[in-house]
Amino acid sequence: MTAEAESRTADFWFDPLCPWAWVSSRWMLEVEKVRPVTVRWNVMSLAVLNENRLDELPEEYRELLGRAWGPVRVCVAAAEKYGQDVLGPLYTAIGTRFHNEGLPQDRDTLAAALREAGLDASLADAADSDEYDGRLRASHRAGIDLVGEDVGTPVIAVPGPDGERVAFFGPVVTPAPKGEAAGRLWDGTLLVAATPGFYELKRTRTVGPSFD
């Protein structure tokens, strides 16, 4: 699994509210420039992931999870109407507003993101509806089934050297590496993720997410 490997599709599951997933997603856009990789965007949900353990979580995080339903519902509604290819531009429009610009995580911001992506702004109404929750849960489950419940967002999956999918949570990195540095991180991540029996590398975070 090297820089010279054949072209492959990387499935990337995201929740627009997660700042760490946002940084990882910007890294993946860099990877596309320097490696034969095409990203296919998918929705997962921090709200769904944590819905059975709310009592264990700090109040501040529970409040965040309450807000987390709206953006993922809007993303799923947009993909249902226009196709999965709209998720990349829509995620960029939402994430830039939420994370880089620090705008309110509300319906008006979602509507503006939809308009920027060339989509029907009225899809922002899906934020307060459970109409698309079945599709949301199915998309979430497709990612989680590859890595297990003890993860967050993002989840990334690629075809492995033996034909089996290689999937992993992360990487958690900040700021997003650029250029060939992004490619080297990709190469190394695939190398360890494809190693049988490999589960975890980790160190304590000493800084918050940087969106530079």
Q: Kindly indicate the confidence band of residue 5, based on its pLDDT and cuts at 50, 70 and 90.
A: low
Q: Which two tokens stand for residue 45?
A: 């949900």
Question: How confident is the model over 159-204, as pLDDT tens digits?
Answer: 877 778 899 999 999 999 999 999 999 999 999 999 989 888 888 9
Q: How far apart are CA 21 and CA 112, in angstroms?
A: 21
Supply φ then ψ for residue 104, to 5 degrees. Answer: -60, 140
Q: What is the mean pLDDT of the chain?
A: 93
For range 89-94, the mean pLDDT: 98
pLDDT in tens, 14-68: 999 999 999 999 999 999 999 999 999 999 999 999 998 888 888 888 888 889 9
Q: Could you give the domains of the chain?
A: 8-193 (3.40.30.10)
Whole-model pTM?
A: 0.93
What values do phi and psi take at 13, rounded to 5? Answer: -100, 130
